Amino acid sequence: MFLIQESSSNQKRIFKWLKNTIPYVRSKHPDDFQVIKESILYRLKELVMLSSEQTRQIILGLDQNLEIEAIKQLNAFPKLQLDYIRGIFKGPEENKKIPDSLLVLHLKLLCQLQPKQVLKEIKLTTYPLDECLKLCREYDVKDALAFFLERAGNLQEAINISLEVTKFIERINLEFLVIQKIIRKKSLKN
């Protein structure tokens, strides 16, 4: 009912309703609890679109072990999947151990969707080295590749890639200066 309403604030009321309803149904109507659980997974895409953070709280409130299933459920929606996974990294749980498979999926999604953010993100958590090297090569995320190569002890290749990136940036800067000169010449003629 809440999800089909047009108003975003009305749609977001679903989270309040679920937070109030789930504990009651779990304790008083265990058979209906399974139905609610299945309904939430069925509507996971819509819920994450409204708020990945609140959806995650609902999922964790249902069953801590349900989170991996929820992430798999979002496979066809990589942007939503990345949003959901980011919530795991930002979550308040202290000393949480994020499984390597989830770290690798996070990096893969970042490489696909936000390659410029990869280096910043990988500096915050320890990622599995071999799989991440492969992903950075596959998606040609050079700065992150250099970071992982350095971590792996392959300093020469890390330096070569860093120099390659630097030369590319210098080439772009030179092209930008040429374009600026052309624009100035044209503006002086007018």
pLDDT digits over 49-85, tens only?
Answer: 999 999 999 999 888 889 999 999 999 999 999 999 9
- Identify the burial level of 47 via C-beta atoms within 10 angstroms of its C-beta, where 0-12 means exposed, 13-18 middle and 19 or more buried: buried
Residue 115 structure tokens: 């390659």
Task: Supply the range of the domain harboring residue 121.
Answer: 116-190
Higher pLDDT, 80 or 154: 80
| Number of folded domains that form the chain | 2
Q: What angle do CA 74, 11, 59 make, to 5 degrees?
A: 40
Residue 148 structure tokens: 């992982």
pLDDT for position 185: 78
pTM of the full structure: 0.76
Residue 188 structure tokens: 């002086």
* In-domain check, residue 109: no
Residue 95 has pLDDT above 80, yes or no: no
Residue 151 structure tokens: 């971590």
* pLDDT band of 172, cuts 50, 70, 90: confident
Q: Is residue 2 domain-shared with residue 62, that is, in the same domain?
A: yes
Residue 2 has pLDDT above 50, yes or no: no
* In-domain check, residue 66: yes
pLDDT for position 1: 43
pLDDT for position 11: 76
Q: Answer whether 62's CB lies under 8 Å from 91's CB.
A: no
